[in-house]
Structure 1
Amino acid sequence: MNRAIFTLIIGILFLSQQESKAQSWELGVFGGGIGYVGDLNPKNLFQLSNPAYGILVKRNIDPYWSIKLSILHGKIEAADSNSNNSAQILRNLSFFSPLTEISMQGEFNFFNYIPSMSRKKYSPYLFAGGSLALFNPKTRYQGEIVALNGLKTEGTFYRKYTIAIPYGAGIKYNIAGNWTLGAELGYRTAFTDHLDDVSGKYPKENVNGLSDRSEERVGVISPFREGYQRGDSKKRDTYFFSGFTLTYTFISSKCPPAF
């Protein structure tokens, strides 16, 4: 987390040194929820896992375009036991993972928007960019919390960080003076299929009893063998943030009146 904050500060200093006609800076906070879509939750695109929070800084280039740097944090999780799919229930896997995201995004306002200066007090907006996500999938097993990454539950190694592509939409409203309240939903396509430690096929051996957990269910004899598909056919997991932002805009003297 300290490394993430350092990266954000460097990004802010870099932007502040650029010669630009940018009209303002924004500083703010994010509060809401985080969700996950992947092998253990393949269909529910709006299911939130846990609360999420973060900080952000934005350089407004003009009333329509801006560049945003942010750090967001939350915990994703899912369990086959919560599924309505009989095959998932039999598989009986589960995970949770802290997730910290460092992101740079471009943002486009549909309307001319400068807090306290624009005629319109609100604007819908779109955003997209690039992110670095840090994660560490774990599970609960026999009363203990077990980190899954080093166990190679599918016989393969993966890194605990990934590049992701954020994209989404929101709406912002000038609630008073230079204060803006926003609501947004943003998905992240991760360049990994291991946010949940589930991706490929069952290995030859049941690593620490965590590769195949179907027999933990009373009366079940595992039907899964080496080479059977353990995850779904998709090659990338997805996570998302949904919530509210509260920002304060520092308006430059260079900024002309907006209409």
Structure 2
Amino acid sequence: MKQIFTYTLALASVLSLVASEASAQQFSKRKQYNSVGVSVNAMNYFGDITPKPSIPSLRFGATRPNIGVNFTHRFTPRISARAALAYGRITGDDTKAADKNDQDAKYRYNRNMSFRNDLAEISVVGIFDLIPNRNTYIKRPDLVPYVFGGIAAYSGNPKGLVGDNAPSSLSKGSYVALQPLKTEGVDYNKAGIAIPFGGGVRYKVNKSFDVGLEVGFRKTFNDYLDDVSTNYISQASLSSDAAKYFGGGNVLVVGGEFPNFNAPGSQRGKSDEDDWYVTTGLTVNYILAPKVKSPKFR
């Protein structure tokens, strides 16, 4: 609840800034314009299946693609609003992310969890340019750094990879949807609300095209993007071979070093951190030239 309040307050501050800027600037309809764009990004996540179960730990080898389309409207010399659709994948793998020779990471290596989650997102953000454009789009500045913040809704479907040590009833090398298995006894929601924020820089190629480099973070209020959050539960309470395998039956217990590794109540994830995801990439925007009405003479 405290985190929700903090991010709501931050969002309210951004919206207040937007409102004050909009009221303070005189920006004629002739100077306002729209643009459409596409983005190609690298996508990562912060969560329980990373080198360290904390922000901003991530494994660059787990980077996956993300693509998006957007529509932007310029309101004032500094303020724009952008609506966007995006689709991408996040992944994690304990045996690749955690160092088995590191005492702090060894338990995560032996936990032997992996996942992938394809996320679809719709977002609306306000963009604040650090360099204003008080002219028409044709005379806009060549290079503009900016920051943004807003709200997003996402939907995903975490899946786990069936490994070589799986029971014969499971098809090795296949992916299994994890949410229906209730691996921690929790019927969590695969969709949710996120707070997008970040920054970038935009470069004017010509009068109609901009290209930009942008980094965007997504704060979710969900610790199950990777299907890992709290503790192991009893194998007897899991309803299928798949649930037992992904719920704790695939651990790599080496030389008896971790007795009762997956015993009910023992640590499975770090429950005090919600999961995040982040995109970094290139955006190309095409400006839709506004129609200028000619004056009528009588």
Same fold (TM over 0.5): yes
Matched, 1:72 2:86: yes
Aligned to 1:244: 282
| Residues 182, 105 of structure 1: alpha-carbon distance in 2 compared, 3 angstrom cutoff | same
1:40 to 43, 49, 55: 49
1:49 to 35, 38, 63: 63
Kindly name which structure, 1 or 2, has the bigger radius of gyration based on alpha carbons: 2
Per-residue deviation, residues 134-165 of structure 1 (Å, max 9, x unmatched): 11000111322111010000011011101000
- Which runs of 5 or more residues in structure 2 are unaligned? 1-27, 100-104, 163-171, 294-298
Matched, 1:90 2:126: no
Aligned to 1:177: 207
2:156 to 127, 131, 135: 135
Instruction: Return the alpha-carbon distance in structure 2 between the equivalents of residues 216 and 90 of structure 1.
Output: 4
Aligned to 1:62: 76
| Residues 216, 111 of structure 1: alpha-carbon distance in 2 compared, 3 angstrom cutoff | same
**SS of residue in 1 equivalent to 2:248:** coil
- Which runs of 5 or more residues in structure 1 are unaligned? 1-19
Aligned-pair identity (%):
32
User: TM-score under structure 2 normalisation?
Assistant: 0.73
| Residues 45, 219 of structure 1: alpha-carbon distance in 2 compared, 3 angstrom cutoff | closer
Matched, 1:157 2:171: no
Question: Which structure has more helix as a fraction of its residues?
Answer: 2
Instruction: Return the alpha-carbon distance in structure 2 between the equivalents of residues 144 and 30 of structure 1.
Output: 30
Matched, 1:126 2:151: no
Per-residue deviation, residues 105-145 of structure 1 (Å, max 9, x unmatched): 00000112364312x31110000000001110001113221
1:211 to 247, 263, 266: 247
Instruction: Return the alpha-carbon distance in structure 1 between the equivalents of residues 110 and 253 of structure 2.
Output: 8
* 8 Å CA contact retained: 2:160, 2:246: no
Shift of 1:218: 6.6
State the Cα RMSD in Å.
2.1
Aligned to 2:261: 223
Shift of 1:182: 0.6
Per-residue deviation, residues 35-84 of structure 1 (Å, max 9, x unmatched): 11001123525735211111000011022101100011111000111122
Letter in 2 for 1:248: Y
User: TM-score under structure 1 normalisation?
Assistant: 0.84
Letter in 1 for 2:188: Y
Aligned to 1:111: 131
Deviates more, 1:63-72 or 1:107-116: 107-116
| Residues 128, 110 of structure 1: alpha-carbon distance in 2 compared, 3 angstrom cutoff | same
Instruction: Return the alpha-carbon distance in structure 2 between the equivalents of residues 243 and 161 of structure 1.
Output: 24
Q: What are the within-5 Å matches in structure 2 for residues 183-202 of structure 1?
A: 183-202=213-232
